[in-house]
Each structure stands twice: as structure tokens, then as C-alpha cells.
Structure 1
Amino acid sequence: MSVDLLVRDAYIYVDREWEIESGWIAIKDGRIQALGKSGDEPVSARVISANGRLVTPGLINAHHHMYQNLTRSYAPVTNGTLFQWLTGLYPLWANIDEESVYLSTYIAMTELLMGGCTTSMDHMYVHPKPFLIDAQFRAARDIGFRFYATRGSMTRSVENGGLPPASVVQTEDEILADSVRLVEKYHDAKPGSMGRVALAPCSLFSVTENIMVESAQLAEKYDLRLHTHLAEDPQEDEYCAEVYKCTPVEYFERVGWATPRSWVAHFIYPNDEEIGRLAHAGVCTTQCPCSNMLIGGGSADVMGLRRRGMRVGLGCDGSASTDHASMWLEARTALLLGRYRNGPNSMSARDVLDVATRGGAACLGWEDEIGHLRPGACADLVIWQMSDVALAGAHSDPVESWLRCGPAVAGTTIVNGKPLVENTQPVMSQLSSVLREHAKHARRIQCFEV
């Protein structure tokens, strides 16, 4: 057997309950061809030695807002509540355009790769200009990143009971027409796809009931996933009680979203009965621990949700609320938060790794091909790297050491069988010029002189 790429001398976390202490992974045509223990490696056109390091499936980011890295750590809103943070930043986000979205997406995907992420969705819900998601697909293609776009939307501006200014909302007809256009142009449901599309009205306090219903119907027609924010903040409960006379989860069910097509971000404030109903309906959720902790809005009980039968993924959330795009940091924070909340026996590093891989794949409806390294899976994997000082004394368990020690970064990140990070550095030759242009756009959007 001859293959395209061989990763050898690795401690391999293949999947739940399958680890290879000293082994190799053979890659051919963008797929995991075979795995084995050291000593019987196939012939390969290229060999990468992991030098005994941990290799895992690529982490999957199941909730993000990539354009927000244009307003990271924006001082006037760093200490506000969720609603204060949103209303402070919406006027700035009204200044994004196709080029700034391309640049911010390029930077976000590069940063994700450096933190061990190989597949990410993005929730682009601010649309002051057309063709913003087109720019994201262009960035993903230029990098070679596996991308799951979600066509977000807002219809309620401050003039009719919402939070955002009128400049970033759209009519229902505009949203639905562009959703169909994007799906027909970019959604690739075939095995090994590098780009897919889901529908994602932003939140119950920023869209009309009709757009939620129409999106669910459109998802049925085109066989798409659905995504939104849900039960994120106590103010959401107050808003929903006043406007819809029900809880956020009851509203979610009323508009036809309680189906296996749906995954939601945050899901911090449902009651026990609501958790049971959505878990039974097959809805998945995504925890975003760093963002939730920085805004001070609480965080989902990951292991509690899993015990109730709900699949849970992990997400960075917006780069203006979490201010980074490291899935390793999210994973470590999830571990610390889970153990702080429920005790030291409640969550292990393997639990978190399962959430960040299999859980994210479940959110995206893509468990057959990503989130594991079984033969036939997409060849998306990470060779993790830490300093010898950070790992000094850690010899008994590479997976636990991965999160308990650190910081860890991706030494090598492989997507679709191609290394996109090598020796901890991105391989993209145009990154320096993208960073320069990104800085210009960020200063413009934040109203600094350029």
C-alpha cells in the first residue's frame, strides 16, 4: 500500500474508547486510509513524525462570529451585559463590507487552525452589505479550510422592538431570497465536502416569528441544518414573556424548530422539563465557556445536558466577546468550568475532547466523516505541541496532560489531507498582507484614523 502522507510515532486518540499508544496514520486522497501500531507502516510520499506527541481529530468549532475580530477588546463595551454589549457594537458592525469580511474570515480561520480546529461554522447575521457570506467562502477556499456557513439574519431593528439599528437588518423577502441563492451556489452535501450552508436567524429578540417558521420550512425543502441562539441570557426570558407570552424554549418549539435539524448556541437558562423535551426532539447545543464567562452570563452544564441525552459541542463564539479563536483554550476552560461546577469527578479531559470533536460533528450533522480518525474519515487531524518545560513530569496520560498542562498549540494541523500549519506556523504565504489590510479595516470600523 502506498499513501500520500504518513503521520508516525504518535499517541493517537482515534475516537471514543480507541487510542493507539505508539502508532501511525496513513492518509490518501484526503481520507484516513488506515491506522496501526508502530512497526508496520506503509510506504508514503511524505512522512511527518509526531515524535511521540498526542494526535487527535481536528477540533470542531460549532459556534462563531468571525467578523467580530474586527472589534476585539473594544474598550467601551468590555464590561457590559450581553444586551449592553450588543447595542454598543451594532453601530460599528454596520460598517463591515465584503472586503472586511473576507479579511476577518481569513484571520479567524488561520487562528482556528493554530488552535487545532479543522472545521468551523460561522454565524454571519449582520448584513449591512450584500455578498458577505460569499466573501467567507472565498477565504475558506483560499486557505483550504473546511467551512460550514450559516446564513444568519435579523429583521427587528430598534424601530420595531429589537436591539440592532435599521442599517444591519433586512426584510424577510431579502433574507429568504439570499438564503436560497447561497444554498444553491455553495451548499455541498456530498461526502468530503469542504463547504456547507445552514439557516440561522439570529435570535428570538432580533427576528420575526414568520422568518423562524419560513426558515424551518426552507430547511425541510433543501434538507438543511438550522441554528440560532437560545436561552442565553435572563433578559431573553423577559423579552420573550413580554412579546411572545411564553419562554424562549416554548417559542422555539412553537415555530417548528424542535427537530433533529437544529442546534443552538449557549442554552444556559432552560428549565429541567425544557431540557428533556429538546433532548428528546434531537436538538443539539453548543457551549461557549470563555465568552459566557467574560460577559458574566453563566454557562451551560455540559455533563448535565449529556446525561439528559443532549449532544453538546464546543464553540469559540464571537471574537469580540471571547476575543480569541483557540479551541484548545475553550476546551481547557470547559474542563475547568465543569469541574468547578460539579466536582473533580464530573468531567475528564476525554469528556471534553469528545465534546470538541464528536459533539461538534453532531451539531453540524456530520458525524460520519469528521470528529474522529476511523478509516474512511476525512483526514482532519492535529499533532499537538507543548514546551518540554510545560510537560516536565507528565508521563502517565497524554490526553489528560493535553488539557491539564499547557498551553498547547497545534504543531501540525492537517485538513483534507493537507498540512495548513507546520512547526506551529500557518503555511499561507499571503498572511502578512492580510494582517496589514485587516488592521486598516479594523481601525476604520472602530472609527480610528487610518
Structure 2
Amino acid sequence: MDKKIVLKNVFFDGAKRDILIVGNLFEKVTRPLELADYEGAEIVDCSHFAIMPAFYNGHTHAAMSLLRGFADDMELGKWLNEYIWPTEAKLTPDDIAVGSHLAVLEMIKSGTVFFTDMYWHREQTMRVVEEMGIRAAIGVTFAEPLMSPEAWAANVDFLKNHTGESERVQLVVMPHAIYTVGEEKTAELIELAHAENYKIHTHLSETMTEIKNCMEQFGCTPVEFWKRLGGLNSNFSAAHCTHFTASDRKIFAESGATAILNPCSNMKLNSGIPQVAEMLKDGMKLGLGTDGDSSNNNLDMQEEMKTIALLAKYLGTAETLPAEEALKMATCNVAQFFGINAGRIAEGCLADCLLIDLNNERMVPCYNIYSNWVYSANSSAIDSVMCNGKFVMRGRHVDGEEEILRDARECAARLVAK
């Protein structure tokens, strides 16, 4: 028999309600509960809490948590080539596990229950996700300069022979970028993804250098490159999308693809500012991601949500991207792309949610709960986090967090010593 949880007197949709969770689904949200609904259920007193959808991080590199603050205040090319890639080459599978634990802990503490990960030693990150009870889309990552032919072939074989995903983890084909995967190999990966029914995720139009080099090499923009190869459709998502032309936006919108914006990382690396107001006008599907800890330097989706809302207004008008729409970019828009029935507090949806402390100083007064959550609050207001109908954080505590922090400190010290 499925476990039942009643979130009692929780603030939702303008009123205090009792919300019933059965198994991993919201069973009753706006309908009144009956006596039988309470029988055998765990009753959670939520009289000081509001319920919000949990965050879905559309793009990150989880294990780069170990490189937080390692290399800052420089542009992308120098940052990657002189600091990040040489250091990443030293990371062992055990290091990846430690870094993934740290990242997932940070995400849970800041209200995220799903992330899209582009990194190496994917089995380590998959294991951590399963262990810590959240969701992920894990990339099988391809980058020609960083892989031997044997490693490339092994990745292809893994995708062709994968026997199925777990309830909370799915695989995604992830060519790193146009400047690390050439035209022939990109075409092969598109064919593979279509044949095996995988989604594709990549970095796209992140810097003006990328645009310039693409124009010189292929005679087109990165978006046009992907269109020419037949890669743009509703199963395609791309991170950054910082430098889209008007034509790019039209092509992208018509394809049904999803752009995952990473404004904090883009501004910190001086890569540019996504033209979010124009993207919205042109009907593009938009989600949010943090990028990695080494370029953001955190995985806080609440911060990302506020930033994109402010940028949209700066680039458009004060009415552009209202709070509730910004919240959708950080929640259900990303979930929808990955085919996950979540990101909303609604009957029949997966029970992924946050309990927000209404006594937190940033939530007082509360004229508009969405305004407070997007513009005022930070992760200190999150008391508890639920994923798939189970608490992964309760009362600000995550099981094993002390050991995760200890292991991360020790691992970082070893990396420096190398």
C-alpha cells in the first residue's frame, strides 16, 4: 500500500489547505480531504509554511563543485583552457563522486530536486542521484579534443546498449559544443539520438568568439549549424543561447527546441546577456540553469530566477516576465522538456515541492506569495524539500551532510596538492 502524507494547513493558492500525497503523487490539492484520507497518513504540520514547486536546474556540471572559487575573474577561453580543463584532467572517479555529493547537497539545500548534468564518469553521478533521492538527466558527454577514439566509441556503445533508465534518472546525448565536436561527429550524434529516442543537450552561442569562429568555419551561426544538420526539434535543448540573432530566435522558436538560460554564469564570465525579452516576444521555450559551481559560483536556482526576471525587465519593460512566469522557467518549463510530470502543485503531478517558512523575515509581509518568492526570498526560507513523495530535506537538515562536507574539503586539499 502506498504511503500517505498529509500536508496540513499549508498555504497554497491564497488559502490554508490540507494537501494529500499518496505514493509519489499529489492526490488531492484543492479538493477537501475526507476522514479516510487521514487514516494511516503521516500528518505534517504546515501551519507556518507555504508550498511551492521545487526547482529544476536545466544545465550544470555537478562535480565542478570541487572547483568553486578555483579560477575567477577571467573570460571563458582563458578560464577553460588554462585552469579548468587541466585541473579536470586530474579528477578521478572517486573525486567525481565526492563533487557530485557536494553539488546535490547544495542543490537540495537550495530547493532543487532535478538537474541536467554534463560531465565525465557519469556512473558516479548517477549513483549519487539515486542515493540522495532526487532526479537528474545525466549526459553521455562528447568532446573530441578531450576524448580518445576508444572513449568516444565506448560512449556510443553505452547509448546503443543501455537497457533502460531508472524512475528518477534519464540519459541524454550531450555533444559539448560546436568548438569541441565537429560537423561530421555532430551529425552522427544527431542520428544516434533520433534512432535511440534520446534528447540532445549542448552549449550553444555562448560567446561572440564562438559565433565568429562558427561563421568563419561553417558560414552560418551555431543555431543555423544545428538546423542544417537536422538537430533542432522539440527534443533539443541548449544552454546559454546568449548571442542569438533575430533569425536564430525565429528558427529556434519554430523548431520547438528549449533554450536553457544561465544569466549569472554568463555575466560573471563576461560572455554576454541573453536577450530574454526578445526571446519571449518571439515565442521561444525558455528554462533556467545555473551552470557549474566553478563559473556561477553556486547552484541556487532562486538566485537565477530573480536574475533572469530583472534582466528581462531591464531589456524589455517593467511588465516583462512577471514573477509567476519567472518561476515557471525555473520549474515546470524544464520538467516539461524532459518529459517529467512535475514542476507544479497539481493533482496527478509528481510530489516534488518545497515548504517555505512564512516566518522567514524575507517573506514578511506577504501581499503576494509569488512576488516574495521570486524577488525577496533566498534559500534560507526553505524549511523542507520533497522529491517523489519523500522528504530529502526536513527542518533544513539533509541526512549525511556533515560527511559530505568533510569529504569535499579533503578532496579539494588533495587536488591542490597535485
The normalised TM-score by structure 2 is: 0.93
The alpha-carbon deviation at position 169 of structure 1 amounts to 2.5
Look up the match of 2:321.
347
2:201 maps to 227
What does residue 124 of structure 2 align with? 135
In structure 1, which of residues 379, 390, 399 is the aligned counterpart of residue 351 of structure 2?
379
Report the counterpart of residue 162 of structure 1 in structure 2.
Answer: none
| AA of the residue aligned to 1:442 | A
Of 10, 28, 34, the match for 1:34: 28
Q: Does 1:437 align with 2:418?
A: no
Superposition deviation, residue 235 in structure 1: 0.4
The residue that corresponds to 1:169 in the other structure is 147
CA positional deviation for 1:386: 6.1
8 A Cα contact 1:289 1:333, kept in partner: yes
Give the direction of change, closer, same or farther, for the CA distance of 1:352–1:187 in structure 2 (3 Å limit): farther
Q: Name the residue aligned to 1:406.
A: 377
User: Unpaired runs of 5+ in structure 2?
Assistant: none
Structure 1: give runs of 5+ residues left out of the alignment: 13-18, 158-167
Identify the residue that residue 422 of structure 1 maps to in structure 2: 394
Matched, 1:111 2:106: yes
Deviation digits for residues 257-310 of structure 1 (CA, Å, limit 9, x no counterpart)? 111110000111111111111110111111112111111222223343233221
Quote how far apart the aligned CAs of 1:339 are. 2.1
Residue 85 (structure 1) aligned to one of 64, 79, 84? 79
The residue correspondences of 1:193-204 to structure 2 (distance < 5 A) are 193-204=167-178
Q: 2: CA distance between counterparts of 1:39 and 1:151?
A: 44
Q: Structure 1 residues 228, 289: closer, same or farther in 2, change over 3 A?
A: same
Query: Alpha carbons of 1:293 and 1:244: their partners in 2 closer, same or farther (altered >3 Å)?
Result: same
Q: Tell me the CA shift for residue 387 of structure 1.
A: 5.2
Aligned partners of 1:386 and 1:408 also within 8 Å: no
Aligned length: 414
Aligned letter for 1:300?
Answer: P
Pairs within 5 Å for 1:7-406? 7-12=7-12, 19=13, 21-36=15-30, 42-43=37-38, 44-74=40-70, 77-88=71-82, 89-124=84-119, 127=120, 132-155=121-144, 157=145, 168-171=146-149, 174-181=151-158, 184-185=161-162, 187-188=164-165, 193-366=167-340, 369-385=341-357, 388-392=360-364, 394-406=365-377
- Counting aligned pairs with the same residue, the percent is 21
Task: Encode CA deviations 1:33-76: one digit per residue, 9 max, x unaligned.
Answer: 111367757305212222243211211110001121111111xx
Report the equivalent of 2:4.
4
Cα shift readout 1:63-109 (whole Å, capped 9, x = no counterpart): 001121111111xx311111111112110011111111111111111
CA contact (8 A) 1:386 1:406 kept: no
Per the normalisation by structure 1, the TM-score is 0.87
- Separation (CA, whole Å) in 2 of partners of 1:386 and 1:176: 52
Shift of 1:399: 1.2
Query: Is the 2:277–2:315 contact (alpha carbons within 8 Å) kept by the matching residues of 1?
Result: no
Q: State the Cα deviation string for residues 334-366 of structure 1 (Å, max 9, x = none).
A: 222222222321122111111111211233233
